[in-house]
Amino acid sequence: CQHSSLHLPQEHFLHRLHALQQEFLHISPQAMQQVATEFNLPLSQVAAVVAFYSFFSTQPCGRFHILFSNCTSCGYLSDEQNLMQLLSQQLHATPGQTRADGLVSIDETSCIGLCNQGASLLVNGIPLTHLSPDKIAQIAQRITAHIPTAEWPVEWFEINDTIYQRNLLLTAPLVPYDALQKAIIHGAAETLAIIQQSGLNGRGGAGFNTGQKWQLCREAPGDTHYVVCNADEGEPGTFKDRVLLRDHAEALFEGMSVCAFVIGAKKGFVYLRAEYRYLQSHLQAVLARRRTQGLLGRHILNHLDFHFDIDIVVGAGAYICGEESALIESLEGKPGIPRIRPPFPVTHGYLGQPTVVNNVETLIAAAHIVEHGSGWFNSVGTEKSKGTKILSVSGDCQLPGIYEYPFGVRIQRILDDCGAQNVQAVQIGGPAGKLINVTEFDRTISFEDISTGGSFLVFGQPRDLLTIHRNFAHFFAHESCGFCAPCRVGTQLLKNNLDKIAEGRGTTYDIEELKQLSSLIQHHSHCGLGHTAANHVMDSLQHFPQAFTAHLKQHFTAQFDLDQALKNARQITHRDDAAAHLD
């Protein structure tokens, strides 16, 4: 088929590793050697990739591999940690280990994007929602009886849409090919001008102007240009891209194709987070349909010079790959360590070539803008924030779900709409975002005021904020890629410090330590993860100091357990008698 000749079926390196992990439940040294030979890579690179991503394992997982989210929103607020303990007890399994007979392994993972579906888990990569103690017992029975997940009740795996507010993007019709055809009629320069006139800014949170990004890439010299969709939303409390990928995939691919037409790309990638791997077959089906319709491949819509196709690459469980240069490293089959910038991906991206990286919502908005016009888009929103923002609302509210508002919407309006009462605080933009208290509920969602990639987490009055900060700090310590010391060490120290305060061993000294650490991580880290990892602590020290001070001791306590610190010395000297311990 001429339309598919650009679609290269060659297996992606990460997909090869996923296949091995799935078949053998781990990736052995022999398998790594085999892959190194197949892909003509050094064994050290294969080993580094396997070690970097949390969805690859060198130790065998269970035939039923269960992951509970430890995210504040879908984990802690939904009581998932207790449900994990319950399932572990019923299956006689230990969290973090594979049962001796290899039947089951149970573990935690970072946010799985099911924050509005009640307590949820992934079993062999498939989401299972609305957990309860009763359902946990039924799951344990099925696993014990070796019943495959394909024979479990189908309704267990249903994910219901909970869209409570629709505006421009979630209501406007978009007929496949209409936007693309208009782009071809306008020509690349005029289409770019429409995007620029619309005032569209990237929806990932940073808000870089999309038209400017496309123009820089279009003008950058290079053999090949690429368009990449960042579908790696991993900010705890974010799940809107899951809904967009499932229900608006046509608009997404249309947006990518329009971008490709403007910048002269022949190849595009959707980098899909591993936690959404179950959406891959749906996305592939939409791509296949577009190929048969002549919307992908060679001579798209009979245009002589327009050839473009899209591959889906599934990540492997690393929050840092949401950072665009880390994502590109991962696309290239490497650990997702952020690059030193400049140069920026628009000039030196995938394989060193000019590359546009936009997120799912941005690309869908671009398709609609070309379809409906820049005026349709920029007549909504505020002066500096055009259009709408889609939010993932979760936490202590009656109606957790998807909400699309014009930019400039007040926080209080969102709280009213989602049925949040007696609110203590709202975390906007995930743990890396902004924590606000009741005095700030008149502020707005906009690039001028509070910007967010989409996460909107509500905390009611009874919530212990220190527990939430501990959860956030553990998240960053786990997700730091380890490249630079201020973040690698700083996030660990921040976690240790918050643990110490929460365990009642902290003093006022530790509050000062928190402030200094936060400042150090913010100002000396290499990438955005480090720059923002302590935001939640700094906001909370300002707005909710009692969340920390209420747990403090009045006198100094050592930050470490001295007796425990001597454990290695006791092992080396083969001593464990009373005299080898501190009183």
Sheet of 265-272, strand order:
309-314, 265-272, 225-231, 355-359
Tell which one of 529, 534, 541, 547 touches ligand SF4 (CB under 6 A): 529
The span of 215-223, 276-284, 424-432, 477-485 binding ligand SF4 (CB under 6 A) equals 477-485
Tell which one of 170, 487, 517, 520 touches ligand SF4 (CB under 6 A): 487
Residue 402's H or E segment, with its range, is strand 401-406
Looking at beta carbons only, is 110 or 525 nearer to ligand SF4?
525
The contacts of residue 427 (CB under 8 Å, 6+ apart) are 72, 237, 395, 433, 434, 435, 455, 456, 457, 459, 468, 536
Tell which one of 314, 481, 498, 547 touches ligand SF4 (CB under 6 A): 481
The span of 172-180, 257-265, 457-465, 527-535 binding ligand SF4 (CB under 6 A) equals 527-535
The span of 15-23, 404-412, 450-458, 481-489 binding ligand SF4 (CB under 6 A) equals 481-489
- The footprint of ligand SF4 on this chain (CB under 6 A) covers a number of residues equal to 14
Looking at beta carbons only, is 51 or 285 nearer to ligand SF4?
51
b/e map 425-450, b = 16+ CB within 10 Å: bbbbbbbbbbbbbeebbebbbbbebb
Q: Does 127 bind ligand SF4 (CB under 6 A)?
A: no
Q: Does 527 bind ligand SF4 (CB under 6 A)?
A: yes
* Phi/psi-derived region of residue 134, left when phi > 0, alpha when psi is between -120 and 50, beta in every other case: alpha
Nearest Cα to Cα of residue 101 among 138, 66, 60: 60
Q: How far is the CB of 432 from ligand SF4 (least distance, A)?
A: 11
Nearest Cα to Cα of residue 66 among 117, 107, 116: 107
Looking at beta carbons only, is 241 or 329 nearer to ligand SF4?
329
Looking at beta carbons only, is 297 or 336 nearer to ligand SF4?
336
* Measured distance CA(210)–CA(216) in Å, rounded: 10
Q: Which of residues 309-338 bind ligand SF4 (CB under 6 A)?
A: 320, 338
Q: Does 397 bind ligand SF4 (CB under 6 A)?
A: no
**Site string (337-366) toward ligand SF4, x via CB under 6 A:** -x----------------------------
The span of 77-85, 255-263, 422-430, 519-527 binding ligand SF4 (CB under 6 A) equals 519-527
DSSP per-residue letters across 500-543? HHHTT---HHHHHHHHHHHHHHHHH-SSHHHHHTTHHHHHHHHH
Q: How far is the CB of 56 from ligand SF4 (least distance, A)?
A: 19
Looking at beta carbons only, is 257 or 525 nearer to ligand SF4?
525
The span of 57-65, 349-357, 521-529, 567-575 binding ligand SF4 (CB under 6 A) equals 521-529
Q: How far is the CB of 531 from ligand SF4 (least distance, A)?
A: 7
CB 531 within 8 A of CB 490: no
Q: How far is the CB of 315 from ligand SF4 (least distance, A)?
A: 15
The span of 98-106, 484-492, 554-562, 574-582 binding ligand SF4 (CB under 6 A) equals 484-492
Tell which one of 202, 204, 322, 530 touches ligand SF4 (CB under 6 A): 530
Q: Does 488 bind ligand SF4 (CB under 6 A)?
A: yes
Does the CA dihedral 56-60-61-63 come out positive or negative? positive
* Measured distance CA(366)–CA(487) in Å, rounded: 35
DSSP per-residue letters across 176-223? TTHHHHHHHHH-HHHHHHHHHHHT-B-TTSS--BHHHHHHHHHHS--S
How many CA within 13 A on the CB side of residue 538?
16
Q: Which tokens hold the place of 290? A: 């577009």
Residues in the chain: 583
**Site string (60-99) toward ligand SF4, x via CB under 6 A:** ----------------------------------------
* Measured distance CA(353)–CA(27) in Å, rounded: 32
Q: Does 524 bind ligand SF4 (CB under 6 A)?
A: no
Residue linked to tokens 């344990």: 140
* Phi/psi-derived region of residue 176, left when phi > 0, alpha when psi is between -120 and 50, beta in every other case: beta
The span of 178-186, 224-232, 328-336, 522-530 binding ligand SF4 (CB under 6 A) equals 522-530
Looking at beta carbons only, is 131 or 537 nearer to ligand SF4?
537
Looking at beta carbons only, is 120 or 325 nearer to ligand SF4?
325
Looking at beta carbons only, is 242 or 339 nearer to ligand SF4?
339
User: Cα–Cα distances in Å, from 506 out to 496, 547, 560?
Assistant: 11, 12, 11
- Report residue 9 CA to chain centroid gap: 27
Residue linked to tokens 């930050």: 559
Nearest Cα to Cα of residue 242 among 114, 397, 75: 114
Looking at beta carbons only, is 176 or 528 nearer to ligand SF4?
528
Tell which one of 350, 483, 544, 548 touches ligand SF4 (CB under 6 A): 483
User: Cα–Cα distances in Å, from 322 out to 227, 317, 502, 526?
Assistant: 15, 10, 30, 15
Contact residues: ligand SF4, CB under 6 A: 320, 338, 480-484, 487-488, 525-527, 529-530
